[in-house]
Amino acid sequence: MNAQNKPELRELSYAEAIREAMDIALEDDPSVLLMGEDIGVYGGAFQVTGDLVDKYGTDRVLDTPISELGGAGVAVGAALTGLKPIFEFQFSDFAALAMEQIVNQAAKVRFMLGGSVSVPLVMRFPAGSGTGAAAQHSQSIEAWLGHVPGLKVVQPSTPEDAKGLLLAAVADPDPVMIFEHKILYKMKGHVPEGYYTTPIGKAAVRRAGKDVTIVATSIMVHKAMETAEKLSADGIDAEVIDLRTVRPMDRDTVLDSVRKTGRLVCVYEGVKTLGVGAEISAMVAESDAFDFLDAPIVRLGGAECPIPYNPELEKAVVPQVPDISAAVRDVVQGRV
């Protein structure tokens, strides 16, 4: 069942929704297995895996050694043999230790063997700032992996999509990288019961509007929604698009919105330079939607520095609601 035909809704946290998706996948398909450091008895670095090891045993919920490169290599190999691994990194930053397997193996094997094999691999990355985890545990690196042909990259912003996109990723024959913002794990929202998928490559219009388009990713969707509600009191009607998928990017939804509003603000937590917003901006500039623009495109991304440990500095280096509000007002009122 797809996201457009949902069963009855109830509330779960973002983490609970992910756990339920993994539970469904494990129960429905014996080829699915979970892998990662401390995901068994400990339940995962952020307790997302929970007690699934008690239900499915250590043959299907595998604690891997403290070697991201080694664990990722085993996951890629398992996928090539017909299994469907869901591999959890403790922090997205640790992908740097496994880039050989992700970028040179998982992303390329199908192409290099002429389509004779597939790599049905899911990798989960707890990402983003806001937990005081400092520079090596707080990055948003979705643009790194979004640059690689052969990978699909998603960023669910709601519990419903966290579950639906994970189940869609498990069903996908190609490697899917899922970036889960750590601050969202405790956020609650309506989640359909049972099996359903949220389509990979399809953005969601979270709020319709006519004056400006805000395209946001991950936790920035919630900040954009808060901004839009505050701006509405001043007569600024913002449309908010949750990109959901970095690769493949939903060109049609973004361009249709820009043609309607004539203005575009891109909001993302990753470093501004060469980030997701740069691709969105280029996509608009290279299309006929550019002719509909009434103002320059504005990008709001992370500062050109590592994430600080100090909580006030940590907030200062990524976009916040006042930053988004000021940018939108400047665009709408012709100050850029």
Model confidence over 247-264: pLDDT tens digits? 999 999 999 999 999 999
- Is 193 tagged catalytic? no
- Is 137 tagged catalytic? yes
The DSSP secondary structure of 173-226, one letter per residue, reads SS-EEEEEEGGGGG-EEEEESS--BPPTT--EEEE--SSEEEEE-THHHHHHHH
Catalytic option among 16, 37, 137, 269:
137
| Cα–Cα nearest to 203, from 159, 256, 167 | 256
Beta strand 238-242 pairing with 212-216: parallel
pTM of the entire structure?
Answer: 0.95
Catalytic option among 68, 160, 239, 314:
68
In the predicted structure, residue 233 carries a pLDDT above the cut 70: yes
Percent of the chain with pLDDT over 70: 97
Q: Quick one: pLDDT band at residue 7, thresholds 50, 70, 90?
A: low
Average pLDDT, the chain: 96
User: Ramachandran region of residue 67, left (φ > 0), alpha (ψ -120 to 50) or beta?
Assistant: beta
Contact (Cβ atoms closer than 8 angstroms) between residue 287 and residue 228? no
Q: What is the mean pLDDT of residues 112-120?
A: 96
Structural domains for the chain: 9-192 (3.40.50.970), 204-332 (3.40.50.920)
Q: Quick one: pLDDT band at residue 1, thresholds 50, 70, 90?
A: very low
In the predicted structure, residue 328 carries a pLDDT above the cut 70: yes
